[in-house]
Structure 1
Amino acid sequence: MEKNSINPWQWQNDRSYVQAVEVIHPSATLYISGQTAIDAHGKSSTGNMETQLIKAIQNLEKIVEEAGFECKNIVRLNIYTTSTDQFFSCFDIFQNWITRHNIQQASTVLEVKRLFETLKIELEATVIK
């Protein structure tokens, strides 16, 4: 598998994503449903955005690892949030996670009116091998 980032500009580098990802000859593709701050018993978090973002990242990592993939091979990551202001107030947590795993993903951030129950953030990913 070969992966190439396409960035005709430099400004997106400070925002922790790439404009496009080309994948050549992947051996497998994993499409992950939106991961949120739900615990192992199915209980939705009532915590703040920071707490929920951390838990959503942990849940996403768990799915990736259990499927035998690696976070560094996330090529698409959509972020749904009930408040972009709150999400960007703890964006450093997201950026540090991206940096730690050397992820170079195409991304879209969408503010939505509502997520399930008390949830504030949802991470939807595509990962390749």
Structure 2
Amino acid sequence: MQKKFINPETLPPTFGYSHVVEISNAKRTIYISGQVAINTNGQIVGVGDLATQMQQVFENIKSALETLELQFNDVVKLTFFLTDIPQMAIVRDIRDQYIDTKNPPASSAVAN
């Protein structure tokens, strides 16, 4: 699989995501269900602490990837759902511990 990360000059500057990711020669596509801050014992982690919750979410994603012998640099798209968009900075801080910040996946954030 070949990945090309593109940020056209005709689009706004990015901060921690790529506008476009082109995949070619892909032999398989994998989808991971939405992950929440629940550990392997079925317990909610980090109640009231978004940073701790996001750490658990990314560890869950990491476990799913490792099941298929994949890593975060294989991820081409992330979507975040937040109740408070100013907390996106916390999400980015945790996310950046896992992704390749030089070639970040395409990302979307949805807040209510």
Same fold, judged at TM 0.5 (above): yes
Structure 1 alignment gaps of length 5 or more? 113-129
What is the RMSD computed on CA atoms of the aligned residues? 1.9
Q: Between Structure 1 and Structure 2, how many residues are aligned? A: 109
Which residue pairs with 2:80 in the alignment?
79
Which residue pairs with 1:93 in the alignment?
94
TM-score, normalised on structure 2?
0.84
Give the 3-state SS of the residue equivalent to 1:44 in structure 2: coil
Which residue pairs with 1:117 in the alignment?
none
Q: Which amino acid aligns with 2:27?
A: S
Which residue pairs with 1:110 in the alignment?
110
Using the alignment, how far apart are the partners of 2:32 and 2:103 within structure 1?
16
| Shift, 1:103, TM fit | 4.9
Residues 61-114 of structure 1 deviation map (CA, whole Å, 9 limit, x = unaligned): 0001112222101001111112222232453222232237x65211101114xx
Using the alignment, how far apart are the partners of 2:75 and 2:103 within structure 1?
6
Structure 2 alignment gaps of length 5 or more? none
| Matches for 1:1-129 after TM superposition, within 5 Å | 1-9=1-9, 11-12=13-14, 15-45=15-45, 46-89=47-90, 91-99=92-100, 103-112=103-112
- Bigger strand fraction: 1
TM-score, normalised on structure 1?
0.74
Using the alignment, how far apart are the partners of 2:68 and 2:103 within structure 1?
17
Q: Give me the identity figure in percent.
A: 28
Q: Residues 105, 89 of structure 1: CA spacing in aligned structure 2 closer, same or farther, 3 A cutoff?
A: closer
Any conservation in 2 of the 1:35–1:56 contact (CA below 8 Å)?
yes
